[in-house]
Amino acid sequence: MINRKKAGILTFHCVNNAGAVLQCYALQETIKKLGVDVEVINYLPKSLTNPYKVVFNPFAHLGNGSFLEKLIVLTRHIRLILLRLKSKIRYGQFRGRYLNLSEKSYKNSGQIALADKYSHYITGSDQVWNSRLLGGFDPVYFLKFPPARSKKIAYAASFGEELENKYYADFQESIRGFDHISVREESAQGFISRFTDKAIECALDPTLLLPREEWEKLAKGAKFKDYILVHDMLSDRRLVDIADALSEEFNLKVISYTKAGNFKKGIHSFAYDGPSAFLGLIKNADFVITSSLHGLTFSILYKKNFIAIPCPPRESRIIDLLNKCKLQERIIRSKEELGQIDLRSPVDFTKTEEILGLEKIKSIEFLKTALG
């Protein structure tokens, strides 16, 4: 039994994705500043860890391919193994150095419940309520397991996309057990209100709670210069066309998350580079094109000249934040729209900084109250 205040965070810290790991770090550090002992609960669901396995079967979908086809696949597979191994090492080093992970790792809610280590359980931020991403309704991220004496908190939790209808009953049962609820997107507030009478607040993504100076301490110096950073989690033809057009206009190279070969001037993919390298690349970019929420949050933090390209079905994350920050004019949906804004002039972040300053106060007050 716990007789002192200790918080446990449940989020997507285990994926080799810079945004996921950095938002976890930011929430941890924010809670530490409030004087609360905090750990990241090392929950490792297969739905999140399997996609990042270093070794997998390269022939699973090849069928009866020829020897030459199999040889080509095997060669590519070996290269991918080396890239994934590099990624695993870099993310592992970051977690080991900067995240206060629980000593034990857990595979299910029962194991965490038996540990009984925390007075406060926090789910979020990130898409912890995305049933499609998690391969179903994961009771861990809905905090169905903590003992009744524990406080259950959702901080800037996100659905990412609409919750599947078949999980409505599970969600209703779970959400009623929370003591404090905040979501990342305003679009989620109305939806949750259908299932509970409790107050639903909107809170900032944790990356926006830390000042730029703290992020710069973690950033790795970029070895590239004169480039557009394209944070494209999924390949999108519109985004490629826009990036190619701007790289020609500005005479800049392209560094991307997806394959560099997708772009006319692509020189590097940062998909396997780790969180510190990602921060350095954002910091030193001449221009940013993003379809990723955390590509957007760090563009704002570093005051970069940028455009955002919302991609369904998770476009609400981008749109909600840009609307909140009064930066909706930075939304571009096609190459033809590029002429609608002056992309050579710096973005005016004056109003944005005022808004985020107030939102940061509200978000931290939410945490203070929830952890009180």
- Do both 176 and 226 map to the same domain? no
User: 57: pLDDT confidence band, cut at 50, 70 and 90?
Assistant: low
Is 77 within the bounds of a domain? no
- Do both 28 and 126 map to the same domain? yes
What mean pLDDT is predicted for residues 29-49? 97
What mean pLDDT is predicted for residues 155-162? 93
- Do both 102 and 177 map to the same domain? yes
Domain holding 119, by residue range, is 6-52+95-210+359-371
Is 84 within the bounds of a domain? no
Is 125 within the bounds of a domain? yes
- Do both 198 and 137 map to the same domain? yes
- Do both 255 and 302 map to the same domain? yes
- Do both 36 and 178 map to the same domain? yes
- Do both 34 and 175 map to the same domain? yes
Q: What is the rounded distance in angstroms from the CA atom of residue 352 to the CA atom of residue 327?
A: 8
Is 324 within the bounds of a domain? yes
CATH number of residue 44's parent domain = 3.40.50
CATH number of residue 303's parent domain = 3.40.50.2000
User: 2: pLDDT confidence band, cut at 50, 70 and 90?
Assistant: low
Predicted pLDDT of residue 313:
75
Higher pLDDT pick, 238 / 313: 238
Q: What is the mean pLDDT of the chain?
A: 93
Predicted pLDDT of residue 330:
96
Is 67 within the bounds of a domain? no
Predicted pLDDT of residue 63:
61
Identify which of 113, 191, 108 has the alpha carbon closest to the alpha carbon of residue 157. Answer: 191
Identify which of 25, 27, 15 has the alpha carbon closest to the alpha carbon of residue 91. Answer: 15
Q: CB atoms < 10 A from the CB of 15, how many?
A: 18
Q: Hey, is 237 helix, strand or coil? A: helix
What mean pLDDT is predicted for residues 55-74? 67
What mean pLDDT is predicted for residues 279-293? 97
Q: How many residues does the chain have?
A: 372
Please give the distance of CA 184 from its chain centroid, rounded to a whole number: 11
For 126-156, how does the pLDDT look when each residue is reduced to its tens digit (9 = 90+)? 999 999 999 999 999 999 999 999 999 999 9
- Do both 168 and 251 map to the same domain? no
Is 58 within the bounds of a domain? no
Cα-flanking dihedrals φ and ψ of residue 50, to 5°?
Answer: -60, -40
**Residue carrying the six token digits 């994926």:** 15
- Do both 223 and 322 map to the same domain? yes
Number of domains in the chain: 2
Is 139 within the bounds of a domain? yes
What mean pLDDT is predicted for residues 298-317? 92
Q: What is the rounded distance in angstroms from the CA atom of residue 242 to the CA atom of residue 249?
A: 11
Q: What is the rounded distance in angstroms from the CA atom of residue 260 to the CA atom of residue 266?
A: 4
Q: What is the percent of the chain with per-residue pLDDT over 90, rounded to a whole number?
A: 82
Measured between its terminal Cα atoms, the distance across the chain in Å is 19
- Do both 159 and 300 map to the same domain? no
Identify which of 142, 158, 151, 140 has the alpha carbon closest to the alpha carbon of residue 204. Answer: 158
Cα-flanking dihedrals φ and ψ of residue 290, to 5°?
Answer: -135, 140
Both tokens assigned to 91: 């993310």
The torsion defined by the Cα of 129, 130, 134 and 135, in degrees rounded to 10, comes to: 120
Predicted pLDDT of residue 315:
85
Q: Hey, is 283 helix, strand or coil? A: helix
For 173-215, how does the pLDDT look when each residue is reduced to its tens digit (9 = 90+)? 999 999 999 999 998 999 999 999 999 999 999 999 999 999 9
Is 33 within the bounds of a domain? yes
Q: What is the rounded distance in angstroms from the CA atom of residue 53 to the CA atom of residue 50?
A: 5
Identify which of 340, 289, 291, 283 has the alpha carbon closest to the alpha carbon of residue 318. Answer: 291
227, pLDDT greater than 70: yes
Q: CB atoms < 10 A from the CB of 195, how many?
A: 17
- Do both 109 and 156 map to the same domain? yes
Residue 39 contacts residue 101 (beta carbons within 8 Å): yes
Higher pLDDT pick, 68 / 82: 82
Both tokens assigned to 353: 């900084």
- Do both 225 and 182 map to the same domain? no
